[in-house]
A = this chain, B = another copy of it.
Amino acid sequence: MAKPKYSHLSLSLFLIITITIITSSPPSLASRTSNFPSSRWAPRFLGKFSSSSPPKQPQPPKQQQQQPKIRYETRYFAQRLDHFSFSDSPRFQQRYLINTEHWVGPQRLGPIFFYCGNEGGIEWFAKNTGFVWEVAPQFGAMILFPEHRYYGESMPYGNKDEAYKNASTLSFLTAEQALADFAILITELKRNFSAEGCPVVLFGGSYGGMLAAWMRLKYPHIAIGALASSAPILQFEDIVPPETFYDIVSNDFRRESSSCFNTIKESWDALVTEGKKQNGLRQLTKTFHLCRELSSTDDLANWLDSAYSYLAMVNYPYAADFVMPLPGHPIREVCRKIDGCRDGTSTLERIFEGVSIFYNYTGQAKCFELEDDSDVGTDGWNWQACTEMVMPMSSSRHASMFQTYDFNLSSFQEECWKDYNAKPRPTWITTEFGGRDIKATLKSFGSNIIFSNGLLDPWSGGSVLQNVSETIVALVTEEGAHHIDLRFSKKEDPEWLVEQRATEIKLIQGWLEKFYQESKSNFDM
């Protein structure tokens, strides 16, 4: 079987965002899912589309009302485009959100809670990181949500068109530059607030969690600790098996229903077979209610693959409208649909019923638009994946319900060159940030990092799941999905989630108490 282009990439990582679903309300039938980040060749983190125009998601009014309010001021800071050379590069305006209303101020060494903005507009992350907003008041903390360069409004060269023009203008879109932005922003803001003595605590989820962990490791003088939620800092080179991600997605389905798992596993062949038939693509277009006629089964496979992967990430125990409106335990619901069709329903019809839970839970979509590739070059995460964030992804023969696929670095590199004139550096992240033998390295070096992960989350396999030392700890929840702990608390929160957050608060409290004790003893000296 030909290796499908999609399977190592539709990873569509990390809880996307503005999946625009066709609803009956807009006049045009052509509202589409083209923003859906299927990322044919690279894993994704969430946030990519958060900064662009708000998604046209049909949302149940009740859930909208439940959304807690957050208050902040939006400010801008002039950042150097290149921190690591002294060439005459321009500056850009980095956006950041700030809230000081609960901050107890510099005299009392009020802490600063700093969210490491990831690949998207920062307002969306602020809205979806309720944990920080909920706990800041009890700590008397200032809240900062800085935006990651090249996302949202924080565009070098004045606007996105210029910033994303070519490999040269994009060349400063790296994690190291983003961390230096954070370090400088914190330092300058502290100076402005006369808050040099105030402790900073980092937060981040997904790629933002990776940034938080790396920031704590690289800038221990800037921040006293980091809560890195769902941060797959080990998903590089061969530190974890490349099959990890898809195996976990697959397992999330199998644990709900082995027949569901099997149906999905069989569906790829069914798809290809159908596609090869005369009028097969037309039939598939009908079966899957696509808005436009399908031109390749790969596109459809991508679309399905994305749905499964995202479902695994947002497999939350309660109804949520994080990515799109979904019921609680959405994989259970998908499998119920797949398994529950009346006898005689074809495999592909079952699949359609299943993924409709993901793409059309509200039932308002009339047809579906598959992703198109046209904006591949304007996607920041794709650039990052094509340069330093090279996360090899394969799909195993047996444990995976996806098509078998072996990550191929050469073809990955070719695609990156084609799309971006970018040359991936697959070994750079581990050289710069480490990852191999991470327990041994960090056991005697480093402190105050929480790696929180839910085992349902396919990214958990690339994160730190064991305690490293007394102060570098792993909080692992059996039933958790992608950085659920960072979300606003809800009355439906299961007990384990309530406990997890309480533990996080306690650990952060511990860091701060130790910091204050030491500040005091320094002061007393």
* 9 cross-chain CB contacts under 8 A: A83-B428, A85-B85, A85-B172, A88-B167, A220-B434, A220-B446, A221-B430, A440-B519, A445-B447
A91 on the B face (CB < 8 A): no
Interface residues of A in 395-454 (CB under 8 A from B): 422-423, 425, 427-428, 430-438, 440-448
Q: Which residue of B lies closest to A383 (CB)?
A: B86
Q: Which residue of B lies closest to A180 (CB)?
A: B432
Q: Which residue of B lies closest to A471 (CB)?
A: B444
A171 on the B face (CB < 8 A): yes
> Are B86 and A85 in contact, CB atoms less than 8 angstroms apart?
no
Closest CB in chain B relative to A251 CB, distance in Å: 25
A177 on the B face (CB < 8 A): yes
A373 on the B face (CB < 8 A): no
Closest CB in chain B relative to A450 CB, distance in Å: 15
> Are B168 and A436 in contact, CB atoms less than 8 angstroms apart?
no
A475 on the B face (CB < 8 A): no
Contacts of A522 in B (CB 8 A): 437, 440
Interface residues on A, range: 35 or more
Closest CB in chain B relative to A224 CB, distance in Å: 9
> Are A184 and B87 in contact, CB atoms less than 8 angstroms apart?
no
> Are A441 and B220 in contact, CB atoms less than 8 angstroms apart?
yes
A387 on the B face (CB < 8 A): yes
Contacts of A196 in B (CB 8 A): 436
The chain A residues found within 8 Å of chain B, CB to CB, are 82-88, 167-168, 170-174, 176-177, 180, 183-184, 187, 196, 217-222, 387-388, 422-423, 425, 427-428, 430-438, 440-448, 471, 514, 518-519, 522
Known contacts A432-B183, A445-B446, A446-B445; is A218 also within 8 Å of B220 by CB?
no
- Contact of A438 (CB < 8 Å), options: B221, B422, B435, B438: B221
Contacts of A88 in B (CB 8 A): 167-168
Closest CB in chain B relative to A308 CB, distance in Å: 32
> Are B437 and A84 in contact, CB atoms less than 8 angstroms apart?
no
- Contact of A84 (CB < 8 Å), options: B84, B222, B448: B84
- Contact of A431 (CB < 8 Å), options: B170, B187, B388: B187
> Are A87 and B220 in contact, CB atoms less than 8 angstroms apart?
no
Report the separation of the CA atoms of residues A503 and B99 in the bound assembly, to the nearest whole angstrom. 51
Report the separation of the CA atoms of residues A448 and B187 in the bound assembly, to the nearest whole angstrom. 27
> Are B86 and A83 in contact, CB atoms less than 8 angstroms apart?
no
Closest CB in chain B relative to A186 CB, distance in Å: 9
Known contacts A434-B221, A436-B221, A438-B221; is A387 also within 8 Å of B443 by CB?
no
> Are A171 and B85 in contact, CB atoms less than 8 angstroms apart?
yes
Q: Which residue of B lies closest to A183 (CB)?
A: B431
User: Top 9 nearest A-B pairs by Cβ distance?
Assistant: A221-B434, A84-B84, A87-B171, A85-B171, A220-B445, A86-B171, A221-B441, A86-B387, A444-B447
Report the separation of the CA atoms of residues A184 and B519 in the bound assembly, to the nearest whole angstrom. 37
Report the separation of the CA atoms of residues A196 and B184 in the bound assembly, to the nearest whole angstrom. 34
Q: Which residue of B lies closest to A177 (CB)?
A: B84
> Are B422 and A85 in contact, CB atoms less than 8 angstroms apart?
no
> Are B221 and A176 in contact, CB atoms less than 8 angstroms apart?
no
Report the separation of the CA atoms of residues A176 and B218 in the bound assembly, to the nearest whole angstrom. 12
Give 5 new A-B contacts, CB below 8 A, not counting A87-B167, A220-B434, A220-B446.
Answer: A83-B428, A84-B84, A85-B172, A220-B441, A445-B447
> Are B174 and A84 in contact, CB atoms less than 8 angstroms apart?
yes
Closest CB in chain B relative to A176 CB, distance in Å: 5
Known contacts A86-B387, A177-B85; is A440 also within 8 Å of B187 by CB?
no
- Contact of A86 (CB < 8 Å), options: B174, B217, B447, B519: B174
Contacts of A217 in B (CB 8 A): 220
> Are A86 and B436 in contact, CB atoms less than 8 angstroms apart?
no
- Contact of A170 (CB < 8 Å), options: B86, B425, B427, B436: B86
> Are B85 and A84 in contact, CB atoms less than 8 angstroms apart?
yes
> Are B168 and A221 in contact, CB atoms less than 8 angstroms apart?
no
Contacts of A427 in B (CB 8 A): 187
Report the separation of the CA atoms of residues A96 and B422 in the bound assembly, to the nearest whole angstrom. 29
> Are A444 and B177 in contact, CB atoms less than 8 angstroms apart?
no
Contacts of A433 in B (CB 8 A): 221
Report the separation of the CA atoms of residues A445 and B83 in the bound assembly, to the nearest whole angstrom. 25
Report the separation of the CA atoms of residues A187 and B430 in the bound assembly, to the nearest whole angstrom. 10
Closest CB in chain B relative to A442 CB, distance in Å: 8
Closest CB in chain B relative to A393 CB, distance in Å: 21
Contacts of A519 in B (CB 8 A): 440
> Are A437 and B170 in contact, CB atoms less than 8 angstroms apart?
no
Contacts of A443 in B (CB 8 A): 518
Known contacts A167-B87, A168-B88, A445-B220; is A184 also within 8 Å of B431 by CB?
yes
Contacts of A440 in B (CB 8 A): 518-519, 522
Contacts of A471 in B (CB 8 A): 444
